[in-house]
Structure 1
Amino acid sequence: MATVAVTDETFEAEVKNAEGPVLVDIWAEWCGPCKQIGPALEEISEEMAGKLKVVKVDADSNPNSVMSMGVRGIPALFIFKDGEIVSNRTGAAPKAALQSWIDESI
């Protein structure tokens, strides 16, 4: 399953009310490190289809979602379970490091 674009309007339905764990990627078009991890997150989304939902929130277009999570820098990654944040990290990382973090968190 490919990543899903989420907005302030769809955040609750797509993330907080989702069944199973959700990885939220807070990114921006101008953010170089965000673009670096994008392909890895797409691959993880495909590889973990049915086990993990991966969504992307554009920080510039969705300030309410960003503020509600207390984002201070991007890329910011959050894992939600049952509508609650269970883990988060900031900054780019190689795919293997992201996968390890996800595996430990879900």
Structure 2
Amino acid sequence: MGAMSAVTDAEFESQVLKADKPVLVDFWAEWCGPCRQVSPILDEIASTHGEKMTFLKMNVDENPVTPSSYRVTGIPTINVYSGGEVVKSIVGAKPKASLLNELKDFLG
């Protein structure tokens, strides 16, 4: 799974909510086709823009608590957190240009 590290329910608060820069969390599952489509795109964006924001992924099957608390009902869901709050939510697989456009405020 490339450039993005995994985050668990147990680590979510320390790695995401208390982070000192924006954090993108990709909520995904092994069985999700669109998740597999968007994963390499996010890896590319992470390798290019990793200094501006942290890129993490969370397997919703292995970590049900966090997705449930943020009402993640469809995957892939990509949430951007800043200052402990969700500041952007992108649902569904999107092409790289579209994702970059949605994330431009955080990538500088």
Match in the other structure for 2:25 = 24
Q: Output the CA distance in 2 between the equivalents of 1:98 and 1:19.
A: 22
Match in the other structure for 1:34 = 35
Give CA deviations for 1:2-55 in whole Å, capped at 9, x if unaligned: 211000011111100111111110000000000000000001101002101110
Q: Which amino acid aligns with 1:91?
A: G
Q: Output the CA distance in 2 between the equivalents of 1:14 and 1:36.
A: 25
Alpha-carbon offset, residue 56 of structure 1: 0.2
Across the aligned residues of Structure 1 and Structure 2, the Cα RMSD in angstroms comes to: 1.2
Give CA deviations for 1:71-104 in whole Å, capped at 9, x if unaligned: 1100001010111100101100001100110113
Match in the other structure for 2:74 = 73
Match in the other structure for 1:57 = 58
Match in the other structure for 2:90 = 89
Alpha-carbon offset, residue 68 of structure 1: 1.2
Q: Output the CA distance in 2 between the equivalents of 1:16 and 1:73.
A: 21
Q: Which amino acid aligns with 2:89?
A: N
Q: Output the CA distance in 2 between the equivalents of 1:48 and 1:57.
A: 19
Q: Output the CA distance in 1 between the equivalents of 2:96 and 2:21.
A: 21
Partner of 2:71: helix, strand, or coil? coil
Structure-1-length-normalised TM-score: 0.95
Structure 1 residue runs without a partner (length 5+) = none
Q: What is the number of equivalent residue pairs in this alignment? A: 105
Q: Which amino acid aligns with 1:23?
A: L
Q: Which amino acid aligns with 1:35?
A: R
